Amino acid sequence: MAMGQCGYCGERAGLFGKVCAECKKLLARVAELRGKVGFGEFLDGLAETGIAKPKILKFLDADPDGKGSVRDQVTAEMTTELMKVMGISGRQTAPEVKRIRNSVNKESD
């Protein structure tokens, strides 16, 4: 029988599973926190799950469905909310956040 591999961290996800237990826990926490807290509080909320920081970082960088990493999706949502509050029309997307992050990283190298 084949063991499934987690689409977020790459670890074993159980028999035919797509997401391991720890990443399921992180996904549930992301759903709870989305749209309710700032990024620092968001990261603290993930840390409160008791899951090791390296695994949380791997989870945040994962893009299992090709819609952008978890980190970029959450950042895009937060940016869109901030733009709304500031009266700026438009919507930020995960691919745009990734493009900006990559360009900033290249400039700082």
pLDDT, tens digit, 9 for 90 and up, residues 52-70:
999 999 999 999 988 899 9
| Total of domains in the chain | 1
- Cα distance between residue 64 and residue 30, in whole Å: 15
> Is residue 69 in a domain?
yes
pLDDT of residue 17: 81
Q: What number of residues does the chain have? A: 109
CB 65 within 8 A of CB 71: no
pLDDT of residue 1: 44
- pLDDT over 70 for what percent of the chain? 96
Of the two residues 2 and 96, the one the predictor is more confident about is 96
> Is residue 85 in a domain?
yes
- How many CB atoms within 10 Å of residue 29? 18
> Is residue 29 in a domain?
yes
For the segment 34-57, the average pLDDT, to the nearest whole number, is: 93
CB 11 within 8 A of CB 20: yes
**Which structural domain, as residue segments, surrounds residue 57?**
3-103
- pLDDT over 90 for what percent of the chain? 49
| 35: amino acid identity, one letter | G
Residue 73, φ and ψ in degrees, nearest 5: -65, -45
CB 72 within 8 A of CB 94: yes
> Is residue 91 in a domain?
yes
> Is residue 109 in a domain?
no
> Is residue 71 in a domain?
yes
> Is residue 73 in a domain?
yes
> Is residue 15 in a domain?
yes
